[in-house]
Structure 1
Amino acid sequence: MTSSSDDSSPLPIDRHRLIHASTVLRTGQQAQLLRAVRAGEVQRVRRGVYSPVGADPPLRGADRHLLTAFAAAAQRDHPVFAGYTSALLHGMPAVGAIPSQVTLLGSGASGRIRNGVIELGRRDDTVVETRGGVRLASLADSVLEVGRRSPLVTALAMVDAAIGRRLEGDRRPVCTLDELVAIVERRRPFRGSQRVAAVLARADPATESPLESLSRLRFEEYGFPPPRTQHEIALADGRVARLDFAWPGLGVWGEADGIAKYGGGGQRAATTVIEEKWREDAIRATTGWRCVRWSWQDAWRGAPLARALHAAGVPTSGLPRRR
């Protein structure tokens, strides 16, 4: 990019869309950077690190977290991302509040928190990988650290995704629940082990979306009986329908309808809605069960999901249990 004040060469931008004051100093463009900041063309990310402000809306949430993480890493020699930050880089879903602090792997056994960066102490069995030229902790190490520090819903969504994701052309999960449990048992005792155990006790490799992870927590919170997940029904035409959740003894099944399921609208979304209606009719004709559908907002708020299940005849064991 260039400053609107002169015809100088573009400011040097790295592959993470960052401008480093040290590089600008070497190229003699300090005045140009200052003018760009004053003009609102460039924003400060961290001390000595900036990013261009384009026509797109400002980065938020996970994208902003990663931009900050790359800025922090640029100020260190041989950085290794870890914890929540590396889980995002592994493609894990971000559910709930995004941490303001980024996480890197420290150089020694002791950890610390300084200037918005959590530096984790290195363990003897810590696995470091390289993905796209970026060094980061393994997926297993990353999600276990999330389980140690993050809210239950955040950690469960990531663990479910980690043990349920499939590599393209390969039916094996990226990591397994047994692998995660084995790592925890090998490392015990450690601070936060009970929090991690609580996440792993609820993890389900059959889960296909963060909404399903959130929904299972709501079932538990409101005292609903645990459903069968990804329950298969043989339809009259020979097809097999897989249900997100099912309570066969109660004659009820549930569908967690995330907005991404319907694309961005238009003809494709309309076709999907029609296909879902045909599928629901076929399941009902085969089983006679009642269908309950809910959105992300219903599950996040909790009460709307609970009311819908109550109305369908799914009982609870008592008052909601808040965590």
Structure 2
Amino acid sequence: MSARTPTAHTRSLVADLFGDDPFRGTTAAEHGISRGQLRAALGRGYLVRLRADVYIAASALTLNTSSPLLRAKEALAVLQGIPAVVAGRVASDLHGLPFLRPHGMPDHGAVTELMVLKRDAARLGRRPRDLLVRPVPAFPKDTQVIEGVRVTSLLHTAIDVIRMGLRADWRRRAYAMPLPEALALLDAATFRSGARTPSEAAAMVKSLRPRFRYGPGIRSVDLARDWIEPLSETPLESWSRGHMIVSGLPLPLVQHVVMGADGISYRVDFCWPEMRLIGEADGLGKYGETPQDFRRAKDRELRRQRALEAAGWTVVRWTWDELVEDPLTVMQRLRQAAIRSHGAA
């Protein structure tokens, strides 16, 4: 039987030492793997270079290189074993929280944020532009582990992203999220944390407030706290309600049940009973996945709208794309419908 080639030996050694996780070339060198061996393994396709001096076994690269899990593990590999907690937008993506880009603002891509203990910060060398390290006296006690990665808690993460979710790299100033986008995060995070009323949700956010310094970012959280509605069913509904608040529209009832002319009770996204006005935010999920599902859903929607209009309600609908492209026009349609309904009353 022939002996294994040096490159096969390197592949086996990398698998034993690092498994499916990214690793630094300097860490590999500490275990006897030379730069030449790494270059040979790269040339044979056994390894993939993620960034300068950070590698992963090609067989382990089942994730897209922009996936939050891989980005988190890649950032942790850069620290070479220094304990850290993943925070910010990468933690938000790992939690599955909605990140909505504010209208008119470019998305520079998420900076990977890591909390490290202050006593370890001095051990850090140069870091890439897309890696932000935040020294803290102690890690939060409510951190969670998602797929082997330690991250900030669900609600802590939402607050962090609202405070400074818009940042091109660690040397640039971070910008806070506006109210509509902040509500999409807080509605989802507080509901998943167990809140079912606005007061419960506000209390949850208030309980974490002492963790964060006062500044422009945290003021955005304070502003959004009083408008949280954890029963909003989708990010589109939360986002729409935020734009209503910013536009000065009267606050609607959410997930309200009204009676149609056909005697059937319908639950609507937004309702202004005194104006006999209904708002419906149409996300794609409600229409199913197949053409047949779509046709059936549109037929039900048409019959439902006719029943509501026959009962004296005005129905205004909008889609995700309409809110993305021109939220002011969507809000103006609602305002005009409210004026017409008020004048007809």
Which has a greater percent of helix? Answer: 2
After superposition, the Cα gap between the structure-2 partners of 1:247 and 1:117, relative to the gap in structure 1 and judged at 3 Å, is: same
CA distance in 2, matches of 1:276, 1:120: 49
The question of 1:158 aligning with 2:173 is answered no
CA distance in 2, matches of 1:243, 1:268: 20
**How far apart are 1:159 and its partner, in Å?**
1.0
**How far apart are 1:202 and its partner, in Å?**
2.6
Instruction: Please provide the CA RMSD for this pair.
Output: 4.0
The residue type paired with residue 38 of structure 2 is Q
After superposition, the Cα gap between the structure-2 partners of 1:165 and 1:128, relative to the gap in structure 1 and judged at 3 Å, is: closer
CA distance in 2, matches of 1:110, 1:195: 31
CA distance in 1, matches of 2:62, 2:78: 27
CA distance in 1, matches of 2:206, 2:231: 17
**How far apart are 1:244 and its partner, in Å?**
0.8
The question of 1:49 aligning with 2:55 is answered yes
The residue type paired with residue 157 of structure 2 is S
1:191-243 CA deviation, whole Å, 9 max, x = no partner? 33312201212321121111112212222333322222211224567754221
- Aligned equivalent of 2:293: 268
The residue type paired with residue 107 of structure 1 is L
The question of 1:308 aligning with 2:316 is answered no
SS in 1 for 2:242: helix
CA distance in 2, matches of 1:310, 1:216: 13
* Contact 2:196-2:230 at 8 Å conserved across structures: no
TM-score w.r.t. the length of structure 2 is: 0.70
**How far apart are 1:52 and its partner, in Å?**
5.0
| 2:243 aligns with one of 208, 211, 218 | 218
The question of 1:69 aligning with 2:77 is answered no
- Aligned equivalent of 1:289: 313
After superposition, the Cα gap between the structure-2 partners of 1:45 and 1:199, relative to the gap in structure 1 and judged at 3 Å, is: farther
CA distance in 2, matches of 1:81, 1:58: 19
After superposition, the Cα gap between the structure-2 partners of 1:271 and 1:159, relative to the gap in structure 1 and judged at 3 Å, is: same
| 2:234 aligns with one of 209, 216, 220 | 209
1:71-95 CA deviation, whole Å, 9 max, x = no partner? 0012332331123322222221121
After superposition, the Cα gap between the structure-2 partners of 1:255 and 1:17, relative to the gap in structure 1 and judged at 3 Å, is: farther
TM-score w.r.t. the length of structure 1 is: 0.75
The residue type paired with residue 110 of structure 2 is S
The question of 1:95 aligning with 2:100 is answered yes
| 2:132 aligns with one of 118, 123, 127 | 118
CA distance in 2, matches of 1:109, 1:201: 37
SS in 1 for 2:231: coil
**How far apart are 1:298 and its partner, in Å?**
1.0
| 2:117 aligns with one of 104, 107, 122 | 107
* Contact 2:23-2:77 at 8 Å conserved across structures: no
Alignment of 1:231-250 (within 5 A): 231-235=256-260, 240-250=265-275
Structure whose alpha-carbon radius of gyration is higher: 2
The residue type paired with residue 75 of structure 1 is V
CA distance in 1, matches of 2:20, 2:297: 36
CA distance in 2, matches of 1:120, 1:227: 40
Fraction of identical pairs, as percent:
26
Greater mean deviation of Cα atoms: 224-233 or 189-198: 189-198
Q: What runs of 5+ residues in structure 2 fail to find an aligned partner? A: 1-6, 102-106, 166-176, 341-345
* Contact 1:83-1:141 at 8 Å conserved across structures: no
Q: What runs of 5+ residues in structure 1 fail to find an aligned partner? A: 1-6, 316-323
* Contact 2:20-2:60 at 8 Å conserved across structures: no
Greater mean deviation of Cα atoms: 249-258 or 69-78: 69-78
- Aligned equivalent of 1:319: none
**How far apart are 1:179 and its partner, in Å?**
1.3
The residue type paired with residue 165 of structure 1 is R
The residue type paired with residue 48 of structure 1 is V
SS in 2 for 1:74: helix
* Contact 2:85-2:150 at 8 Å conserved across structures: yes
The question of 1:83 aligning with 2:93 is answered no
CA distance in 2, matches of 1:15, 1:238: 62
Greater mean deviation of Cα atoms: 302-311 or 105-114: 105-114
How many residue pairs were aligned? 300
| 1:252 aligns with one of 277, 297, 301 | 277
